[in-house]
Copies of this chain bind each other. A is one copy, B any other.
Amino acid sequence: MILASNSQIRRTMLEQAGVGFNVRSPDFDEAAVKAGPDLGGEQLARRLAESKAASIAADDCDWVIGSDSTVTVNGQRYSKPRDREEAATHLRAFSGQIMELASAVALANRGRIDWSYAETARLKVRPLSEEFIQSYLNQEWPEVGYCVGVFRMEGRGVALFERVEGSHFTILGMPLLPLLGALRERGIIAS
How many Å lie between the Cα of A121 and that of B147 in the bound state? 27
Does A162 interact with chain B (Cβ within 8 Å)? yes
* Contact between B176 and A135, CB atoms less than 8 A apart: no
Interface size class of A (residues with CB under 8 A): 20 to 34
Copies in the complex: 2
Residues on B with beta carbons closer than 8 Å to the beta carbon of A168: 164, 168, 171
- Closest B residue, CB atoms, query A190: B132
Residues on B with beta carbons closer than 8 Å to the beta carbon of A158: 13, 16-17, 169, 176-177, 180
29 A–B contacts, CB within 8 A, in A order: A13-B158, A16-B154, A16-B155, A16-B156, A16-B158, A17-B158, A17-B159, A18-B139, A18-B156, A18-B159, A126-B181, A126-B191, A127-B191, A129-B191, A131-B190, A132-B190, A132-B191, A135-B190, A158-B169, A158-B176, A158-B177, A159-B180, A161-B177, A162-B177, A163-B177, A164-B167, A164-B168, A164-B177, A168-B171
